Structure 1
Amino acid sequence: MLAALFVVFVALIYVGTKRVLFTSAAERSAGAAHQISGQIATLKDSPFGPVSLRTALSDQSFLDEFAGSGLFVEAFNEYGKPIGKSNNLATSDLPTSGYEAWSPPFPTPGIEWGIATVKDARMLVSRQTFPSGRTPEATIYIGQSLVGMDGILHNFRNLLLTGLLIAFLFIILASISLARAALGPIGHITKAAREISGEQLGKRLNWKGRSDELGALGRTFDEMLSRLEHAFERERRFIADASHELKTPLTVINANSQMLTRWGARDEKVLREALVTIEAESATMARVINAMLTLAKTDNPSALTMEAVDVGDVVRDVGTALQASAQSKGLTLNVIAELGAYVHGERGLLRQLVINLVENAIKFTEAGSVTLALRPAADGVVLTVQDSGPGISGDSLPHIFNRFYRADPARSRTVEGTGLGLAVVENIVRVHGGRIEVTSQPGEGTTFTVRLPSDASLPPAQPAA
C-alpha cells in the first residue's frame, strides 16, 4: 500500500513538471505569435505607406526579430509555399503536417497547436493564418524546440525513478525489520502451541511486561489455556464418574446373568430375582445414558430446534404426569400455572427441566408437599419448585449443579438417581438464556427458581396483579 502511494506521488510530480514545462514552451510561442500579429498590424498603418503582408514576411530580418534560441519562424503563402523564414532555420523548413494535435492550458484564439518530430527531435508547432478577405493570404508557423525540455524531463524522470527505487528498498528493509519484530512473538506462541497437548495444558507464555497488542494476545492465549485446562479436567472427572456409574450396574447385570446361566433353569426364585435386578439396573443405565445424551445435546445449542413454547402448558402437563409419583409417597403436589406464558425454546428440553426439578423434590421429600408454580414477569417467566424436604447444607449448595455430585453420599445410596439431574437442568436453563437460583436451609426445605426470557416474537406475558 505504501509503495503504491509512492508510485502515485512520483507519477503526479512527473506529470506536473511536464505540464509546467510544456506550458512555458507554449507561452513563449504564443508570445511570439502575438508580437508578429501586432507588428503586422503596425506595418499596415505605417506613415510611410502600408507594407504588404507578403513583403514583410519575406524579409528575413523581420522574422528574426521574433526568433530566438530554439524558437523558429517560417511563413508560407496561400499555396503552402515558403515566403520567408528566420535565419536560425538555415536550409531547413518547419513541418506543416504530420504532427500530433495538442492544446495549451490557456486560450489562444486563432492559433492551432501540435507536436511534430523532426530528425528524432520533438518540436512544439503553432500555426496562425492571416486572411485577405475570405481567403488566406499567408500562414505563419512558429516552432519551439523541445530538445532541452525533453532532456530535463529525461534527467528528472531518472532522478525520480532512482529515488523511488531507494524508497522501495527502504520500505522492503523496514518491512522485513517490522515483520521480524512482529512475527517473533507470534513464532513464540506457535512454538508454545505445538508443545501443548492434552497432558501438558499447564504451560503458559507469561508475557507480563508487554502492554501492546501482542501482550494482549499473549494474555488471551494464557487465559484460553486456563479455560482449556479446566475444561479438560472437568471432562476427565466426568468420564471417570460416568465410567463408575455405568460400571456398577454392568457388574450387577453380569453377576445376575451368570446366576441365570447356572441356576435359572432349576430355581424359579433365582430366575425371578435375577430378572428383576437386571431390569432395575438396565433402567438405571438407561437413565444415566439419557442424561448424558441430554447434556451433550445442550452443549451444542446450534443443533437445537427452537420455537415458541407455552411454558404454562408444559408445567400443567408435568404436574399431571407426576401426581401419581407424589401420591405414592403421601405428598401433595400443588401446581399453579396459567396458559399463555411463552418462551423461545425447545419443548422437550423445557419439559425435561421441569420433570427433573419436580422429581428431585419428590425424591428427597419424605412428608409434606411440593409446589410447582409458574408466573409471568416483565421480561419473561419465573418457574419455582418448592419442597418441604430436609434442605441442603450451605457447604453443598455451590456444588449441587456439578455432574455426579451428591450432597449426602450415604443417603444417595438409598435414593434412586443418576447424579446428573441438576447438571442437566442448569444446561437447559443456560441454552435458553435464563438463570437458575436455589435457596435452602437444613430442615426447612429447598426452593429452585428459574427465570427464562420471553419469546421476543410474541406479546410479553402480563404479570399477575
Structure 2
Amino acid sequence: MKNSQSIKKLVLLFVLIACSLLVISYSILVNIFFEKGLVLAVQHRLELESNFYAAAYEKDKGTRLPDAANFKTFQDYEGLPAEIKEKVGPDFPAGEFDIVHSVKNENEFHFIYSWKRSDGKVLYFVYSLGDADKSELILSTLHGIAYYTIATGLILFLGIILVALLIIRRITKLVMRLTDWAVNLNNDNVEKTIGDFQYKELNQLAVLFQRNMRRQLAGIQREQKFLRNASHELRTPVAVLQSNLDWLNRLGADEEEKFKRPLSSMEKAVNNMKELITTLLWINKKDIDSMPKHEIKVDDQLQNIIDENSYLLANKKVQVKMELPPQVVSAPETLARIVWSNIIRNSFQHTYQGEINISLLEGMLTVTNDLIPDAAESISEGFGLGLMLIQDLTDSLGWHLTVNERSTSYSVRLQMD
C-alpha cells in the first residue's frame, strides 16, 4: 500500500501529456502547412505566368518573355544561374517544379518551373525570394498569425486542463462519498436502498460492496451461532465428566495409587475443556470493555499453567526451559489466563521431542518449541485452532500476537504492552 498510485494524479498527468503533445503536434503542422501553402502559391503563380505567356505567344511569336524584379524566364538551360544548375540537371523534364536553396544566402530560395513552348523549346520560369523581398506587412501578418496560434493553443490547453480537473474533482467527490458509505455499512443499514452515485460503474461497486457485506454478516452470524451451540453442547458432557470425577474422589479413588495418575489426567483434561468452552463463549460475546481489569502477576500465572498442562508432556522426550522474571500486567484475569493457557497448551500438545523455551521479558511472552521435520506440516496445522480462538481475544485486549513458523521450530510471541 505504500507505493499505491493516485488515480487523480495519473489521469491529470495523462491529460497534461496528451494536451502538450496535441499543442506541439498542431504547432508543427501549422508550420508545415504554412510552408506547403507558400510553395503551392508560388507554383500556382508560375503556372499562371506560363499560361498567360502561352496565350500571348500564340497571338504574337515575338512576345517578350515574362520578366520582373524577382521573376525571370530563361530560354535555355545554359542561361540558368550556376547555383540552380548545381541542383537541376539539363534533363530536368518539362512541367516539373522544384525548389533550390541558395548556397550563398540561406534565406534565399529559387522556385523553378520548366515549361515546353508550342515550338518544342523548353523555357525555365524562376521565382526568387530573399532578404530584399521581405515585406513588413507580410511579416507583421505572419507574426500576428503566430501569436494567434500560440494564444489559441494555450487557451485550448488550459481549457482542457480545467475541464479535466473539474471532471476529476466531481468523480473524486463521488468516490469519497462511496467510500464513506462503504465504511459505515453495517448490520443496521446493509438492507437499506443504495443511494445514486450518478455513474454506472460507481453504482455497480456499491451493489458489490453491499453484497459482500451481506455475505460477511451472514458468515459472522453463522459463526456466532456455531460458537453458542458448540459451547452450550460441550457443557453437558463436561459437566457429566466433572460430576463423575467428583463422585470417584468422594469414593476415595484418588487415594489409591493406581487411580491417582489417570484421575489427575482426567481432571486436567476436564479443566482444559472448561477453558475451551469459556474461550468460545467470550469470543461469541465480545464484550471485553465491560470486564474489570486486575493487576495480574504474569510469572505466577504462567507457572501455574505450565504445571497444570505438564501431563501433556508425559512419556515425551521434551525439556521445558523457563525464564519468568516477576512481571505485572493490567487486564481481565479470566481472558488473560485463557490466552496464556491456549499458547502453552498448544506448545505442550504438539511437541514430541526437543525443547520448549518459555520466556517473559519486558512485556513479551515468547514460547518456542522444536518440531519433528517429517511431521512439521501436520503439527503446524494442529496449532491453528487454538491460535485462531485466541486471536480475537488478543486483539480485544490490545495485545499483539505473532506466529513464526519454520521447518524445525514454531514460535509464538505475545506482546502485552
Larger Cα Rg: Structure 1 or Structure 2?
Answer: 1
Common fold by TM > 0.5 = no
The interval holding the TM-score normalised by the smaller chain is: 0.3 to 0.5
